[in-house]
Amino acid sequence: MARTGENIYKRKDGRWEARYIKYYDGSGKAKYGYVYAHSYTEAKSKLIRCLTSISSGSASNGRPNGLKGFDFWLDEWLKVKKVRVKEPTYIRYRNSIENHIKPYLGKYPIERISTALIENFAQHLLVNGRLDKAGGLSEKSVLDILTIVKEVFKYTNSLGITTSCQIEFIPLKCKQKEMRVLSKEESQKLVSYLTVDSDNYKFGIFLALYTGIRIGELCALQWKDLSFDAKTLHISKTMQRLQKVERNEEKKTHVIVVEAKSQSSHRLIPLPDFILEIASKYKQSPNSYIISTDRGKFIEPRVMQYQFKKCMEACGIKNVNFHALRHTFATRCVEAGFDIKTLSEILGHSSVKITLDKYVHSSLELKRSNMEKLQLF
């Protein structure tokens, strides 16, 4: 099935056509190459061979004496970022560079990287960018990788090393993925299941459903973050499992608790009495984790995801992940008449626009209710 950005189309004569940029002429106009096939799969395979040939052919023309490859500048930029960004961000940058950017662009002198080359790189990621070679990356992932390339260009430009590449003009739109929101009936079914024979895991899911907190924030919560007197929940940390910065260690990953990702993520959430009543059944010492094992050890996000999946199966609720609880919470709040600014702050968003664009999902019932407010003109 053809995806946006691949430049693979079915022709009126039934054949499939794939297009790629060969070069730009003197006026800056793109000159395209084409391949044709009898099926989408065959056209995609031919396109991948062409893109690979362009990349390896151009890079193998030799690096002029005195010009450092892009891989050198990627490493230099990473060294700077290592001391300036949080560990999760550094790991994400490094993985994108090692897995995607270096293999395709690393051998090019930065002065020789053109807009056409970056466009073909983006197309390659969309068509065949997955590490298992089972397909392409999402538009969002490709945009994130191109943003790193752009930042490295800015870094080298500050050192007086420039490129003619106009990366900001590369047309790549990121489609917003439709997030699953539990219906009222599904929410009621889930709440009934969570409040009967409740345990630590069920309470965590219940808390997320009624506060909209992220799974990493939930796992990082300690009892000192919940005030029964003030009736508030203090969000200031998040838990993640990451690859280790040093790769020569026996264990490749570790679980860390870090400060919340932004200033807006630090927040106080007022808690209604019904949540406090349930929470009181599990209360432990201040430094204990709210979601923990019988031995008091924290429960990491991937274990919480597994437990959530088991709950959903028990409730007969399909096609839903943990983050859907956050969207469900936001939707129920809108239906209850919450002020959007208040909701945005509870969710920890940096702007109301994020809340409106990504988290507010109008149900058919809410749409019908609003339409019924109309009077005959």
Phi, psi of 343 (to 5 degrees): -60, -40
How far, in Å, CA of 357 to CA of 360, rounded?
Answer: 7
Q: Does domain 184-371 have CATH number 1.10.443.10?
A: yes
Q: What is the mean pLDDT of the chain?
A: 85
pLDDT band at 218 (very low <50, low <70, confident <90, very high): very high
The answer to whether residues 304 and 291 touch, using CB atoms and an 8 Å cutoff, is: yes
Q: pLDDT tens digits, residue range 301-341?
A: 999 999 999 999 999 999 999 999 999 999 999 888 899 99
Q: What is the CATH number of domain 8-169?
A: 1.10.150.130
The answer to whether residues 349 and 329 touch, using CB atoms and an 8 Å cutoff, is: no
- Four-point Cα dihedral 319, 362, 304, 87, nearest 10: 110
* Residues contacting 274, CB < 8 A, separation 6+: none
Tell me the whole-structure pTM to 2 decimals: 0.70
Neighbours of 11 (CB within 10 A): 9
Start-end of CATH 1.10.443.10 domains in the chain: 184-371
Q: pLDDT tens digits, residue range 2-13?
A: 556 678 888 888
pLDDT given for residue 60 in this prediction: 46
How far, in Å, CA of 23 to CA of 148, rounded?
Answer: 23
Start-end of CATH 1.10.150.130 domains in the chain: 8-169
pLDDT given for residue 86 in this prediction: 86
pLDDT given for residue 374 in this prediction: 65
